[in-house]
Amino acid sequence: MPLQSSIKVLGKNTTPSPYRWVVYTLFVMCNIMGFLIANTIGILLPSISADLNLTPTQQGILSSAPFWANVGLMIVIALWVSRYAPKILTLVTVILGGALILLQAWAQGFFVIFVGRFLFGITMIAREPARSLLIRQWLPQREVNHAGGISNLFFGIMVSGGVFLLPMLLNYFNGNWRTVMVTFAFIFFGLAIIWAIIGKENPLAEPEEDEKSNEFQIIVRIFRFKDIWSAGIGFLGVLMSFASFNSFLPTLFVDSYDLSLGKSGLIVALYILPGGFSGVLVGLFCKSPKSRSLILMLAGLVITITFAAMTLVENYNWLILISFTNGLAWGFFPLLYMVPFHISGIKPREIAVSVATVMTMASIGGSIGPTLTGYLQESLGSLEISLRYVSIAPMTLLVAGILLRKTPQTS
């Protein structure tokens, strides 16, 4: 039965508890472990492909699988699960995520591992509404952008760390990607135990008075918010390139640039890690629509140029510098992700569904990118050229910056 009483918000006169950052940070760690699995498949793809005899197109489809789930089901699932208590929702999805990683580790062919990654993507999108509900339960409005910065920081540290350490872990297990996946599964189960003990609902949060809208009314209302579509457009292109480069850049470096998988992992890690730190600064100091617009447009230009440069420059030291510059530009992320939280008069469930709508558009990019790159590689016979085409996609951030330039941020 849906837990309608779980829709709570922090009262305006309620003093925020210091425990809020414990709960939110632990949730972010649980959530980002899912993104780590979804976005670091590129390191394991050479081993998986050799084991299962995958074509480039199949490799692209496999990389895109979690994002396909997002495209087709995110809004529907967000409407459904946003009625439930965020602690239980997080716990169930983390446990299911671990079980589905074990399924992938067992897979003997393309279809089973595809299904495992697709269903894993569903657990990721089912967990996402818990973030919106926890933010509304624990954090005052002035700390919303800070929360986005913290999330960005942990994403940078955990995902870049995963990309950097994965080649070492794979080497430790003598190239056995299945054992690596089993290790990830037990990490998920460990996080589930920690969340069950430490994760809490805010006892001081007040029940939301007006959560009587049915699902259709919520959809109609949020589809009228122009800012939702502007943020989604920005994410669509930049996630298309991000997913493509994550999936195929290690293969390009190993096959064409004669770089080891370890060096390739470091380069990929360096365009993920810096954005975590720059995102914290952006979340703290970006207060006006003009500065937000400027940051989004500048980020689009820098990410486009640096992704393209990675397909043109073969010198390892230059690739390190280019990757680091690309990573700094990802500090825009909390500004775009937190757009729904700043819409005047929006309700907690509407925020959850609005975020789902934005991330559905992001996932469209994430699902198209690797599959398109794999198809272009087979058609053109060149991975470098196919990645160059995809490197243009982050220019959608420029469009988002222009569309959001007159929209104020609530404080």
Segments making up each domain of the chain, as ranges = 16-403
- Of residues 388 and 270, more confidently modeled: 388
Token pair, residue 209, equals 């008075």
Q: Tell which residue, 9, 15, 19, 6, has the closest CA to residue 206.
A: 9
What is the average pLDDT across 317-331?
Answer: 93
Percent of the chain beyond pLDDT 90?
35
Write down the pLDDT at residue 346.
Answer: 81
CATH of domain 16-403: 1.20.1250.20
What is the average pLDDT across 104-117?
Answer: 92
Write down the pLDDT at residue 237.
Answer: 94
pLDDT bin (cut points 50, 70, 90) of residue 5 is very low
pLDDT of residue 110 exceeding 70, the answer is yes
What is the average pLDDT across 360-376?
Answer: 86
pTM assigned to the model: 0.74
What is the average pLDDT across 364-376?
Answer: 87
What distances in angstroms separate CA 382 from CA 102, 192, 252, 260, 353, one per listed residue? 34, 43, 10, 20, 40
Please count the other Cβ atoms lying within 10 Å of the Cβ belonging to residue 375.
Answer: 15
Residue appearing with tokens 């054992």: 179
pLDDT bin (cut points 50, 70, 90) of residue 160 is confident
Mean pLDDT of the chain: 85
Residues 224 and 345: beta-carbon distance below 8 Å: no
pLDDT of residue 398 exceeding 90, the answer is yes
What distances in angstroms separate CA 244 from CA 316, 357, 394, one per listed residue? 20, 22, 12
pLDDT of residue 299 exceeding 90, the answer is yes
What is the tens place of the pLDDT at every residue in 172-228?
999 899 999 999 999 999 999 999 999 988 876 666 654 555 667 777 888 788 899
pLDDT of residue 62 exceeding 80, the answer is yes
What is the tens place of the pLDDT at every residue in 213-235?
566 777 788 878 889 999 999 99
Residues 152 and 76: beta-carbon distance below 8 Å: no
Q: Tell which residue, 339, 270, 335, has the closest CA to residue 299.
A: 335
pLDDT bin (cut points 50, 70, 90) of residue 23 is very high
Cα 184 from Cα 188, distance rounded (Å): 6
What distances in angstroms separate CA 76 from CA 116, 122, 264, 343, 349, one per listed residue? 20, 11, 38, 21, 12
Q: Tell which residue, 196, 144, 166, 189, has the closest CA to residue 26.
A: 196
